Amino acid sequence: MRILITGGAGYIGSHTLLEVLNAGHEAHVIDNLSNSSPTALSRVKQLTNRDFGFTEGDIRDRDAIQSAVDAFQPEAVIHFAALKAVGKSVVDPMPYFHNNVYGTLVLLDALRESSCRRFAFSSSATVYGDPQYLPIDEQHPLSVTNPYGRTKLQMEGILEDLARSDPSWSIALLRYFNPVGAHASGRIGEDPNGIPDNLMPFIAQVAVGRREALNVFGDDYDTADGTGVRDYIHVVDVARAHLAAVDWCAGGDGEGRGCEAFNLGTGRGTSVLEMATAFGKACGKPIPINIAPRRPGDVATMFAHPGKAEQTFGWRAEFSVDEMCQSSWNWQSQNPQGYSAE
């Protein structure tokens, strides 16, 4: 299949690109490199020994997107390109609405001019807001707690309306829980700009000596050890779920599948302290920690009911928390400064 991947140079995008190429598909990447490095793309080429097209451009640039769509004639689109920093979206929401909502509309407009009606959308467990019950299944009520989450929820609604209006669409809304880890080669991985917002890249930078200690945001939650519990999922599992979702989109016997949401999680919760301990085991030395105040907006516990993706397209997460930590350490220790060294 010819698969267009927006945001393909990013963290999840580059891992998915690699799986897409290894599965024998053709790929074309669109990325403006606003939060990624071209080195990720060259490394995917080396790792797969496969070539693919690349448009360095913004999804809001209709001419650039239309040219890429017209030339490549995608049979499916995997749409990662978006801004993702929750805290920044609260302070300065407009870039989030522009990139995540308007950018996606431009992309969808360009697709209307093509015959491609298969679309996998990067959504997020953030659309569930504060959990009302656990594990969280796809029926859980949806709500918004920040502008970033609003962009995901708005796009989910728009994509549902689109599929309702035109039954030839097959749209998978993929709600990721907490993607972490790296490809087994250690050649591609997560490389955030500045101080990492998220737990795993922060721990990895402590382990490699770039930061002194992990600040544990709260140890007085109603959880087994008092620290926040999340459903961490290996990025390679997330990447493979996209392949399964695209196959599902393609398998409608000529009919579209409509628009369906799927959780991408493991169904297991891991606390901050458990994660720090597992990482310490992976890197061979304990991760120093400071207990810090709770981070505003955090919930105590979140984990997925991941069964729908397995029942519908036969995907389930395979990797353990130890493997997530080992692969993350493998990437970070080989690339202490991320991609910036190249």
Binding site for ligand NAD (CB under 6 A): 7, 9-13, 30-36, 58-60, 80-84, 99, 103, 122, 124, 176, 178-179
User: Taking the complex as a whole, how short is the minimal distance between the CB of residue 90 and ligand NAD, in angstroms?
Assistant: 15
Could you say which of 1, 33, 86, 208 contacts ligand WQD (CB under 6 A)?
86
List the x/- string, 277-296, binding to ligand WQD by CB under 6 A. Answer: ------------------x-
Task: Compute the CA torsion angle 264, 270, 271, 273 (nearest 10 deg).
Answer: -130
Dihedral of CA atoms 73, 38, 207, 287 in degrees, nearest 10, equals -30
Between helices 103-112 and 62-72, what is the axis angle to 10°? 40
Q: Which does 272 bind (CB under 5 to 8 A by kind): ligand WQD, ligand NAD, none?
A: ligand WQD
For residues 58 and 326, what is the distance between their CA atoms, to the nearest angstrom?
A: 34
84 binds ligand WQD (CB under 6 A): yes
Q: Which residue stretch of 57-65, 105-113, 192-200, 258-266 sits at the interface with ligand WQD (rule: CB under 6 A)? A: 192-200
Residue in the shown chain whose Cβ atom is closest to ligand WQD:
228
Contact residue for ligand WQD among 126, 263, 328, 332 (CB under 6 A): 126
Q: Catalytic site residue 339?
A: no
Of 5 and 47, which has the nearer Cβ to ligand WQD? 5
Residue 86 interacting partner from ligand NAD, ligand WQD, none (CB closer than 5 to 8 Å by kind):
ligand WQD
| Footprint (CB under 6 A) of ligand WQD, residues 214-233 | 214-217, 228, 230
At position 252, the amino acid (one-letter code) is: G
- Cα separation of 18 and 260, whole Å? 25
| Measured distance CA(79)–CA(17) in Å, rounded | 12
**Closest chain position to ligand NAD (CB):** 10
Contact window for ligand WQD (CB under 6 A) among 30-38, 59-67, 181-189, 197-205:
197-205
- Secondary structure of residue 120 in the 3-state scheme: strand
Residues 6+ away with beta carbon under 8 Å from 25? 1, 2, 3
Note whether 121 and 159 are within 8 A (CB).
Answer: yes
Q: Cβ of residue 97: shortest distance to ligand NAD, in angstroms? A: 12
Burial class (CB within 10 angstroms; exposed 0-12, middle 13-18, buried 19+) of 194 = exposed
Give the torsion sign (CA, 29, 34, 36, 42): positive
Only one of the segments 7-15, 59-67, 194-202, 249-257 lies at the binding site for ligand WQD (rule: CB under 6 A); that segment is 194-202
Distances (CA, A) of 338 to 62, 80, 162, 283: 32, 20, 39, 17
Residue 35 Cβ, how far from ligand WQD at the closest point, in Å?
13
- Determine contact, residues 173/259, Cβ cutoff 8 Å: yes
Q: Please identify which of the residues 148, 176, 221, 232 carries the catalytic annotation.
A: 148
For the chain, report the end-to-end CA distance as a whole number of angstroms: 32
Task: Please state, in angstroms and rounded to a whole number, the distance separating the CA atoms of residues 317 and 203.
Answer: 22
Our CB check for ligand NAD shows the closer of 10 and 147 to be 10
What is the CA angle 79-235-19, rounded to 5? 65
What is the nearest approach in angstroms of ligand NAD to the Cβ of residue 95?
9
State which residue, 121 or 202, has the beta carbon closest to ligand WQD: 202
| Residues in CB range of 211: below 8 A, 6 or more apart | 195, 202, 205
Q: Which does 33 bind (CB under 5 to 8 A by kind): ligand WQD, ligand NAD, none?
A: ligand NAD
For residue 14, the minimal CB distance to ligand NAD (Å) is 8
Residue closer to ligand NAD, measured from CB, 212 or 263: 263
Contacts to ligand WQD by CB under 6 A: 84, 86, 124, 126, 178, 197-199, 202, 214-217, 228, 230, 272, 295, 298
Q: Which residues are designated catalytic? A: 148
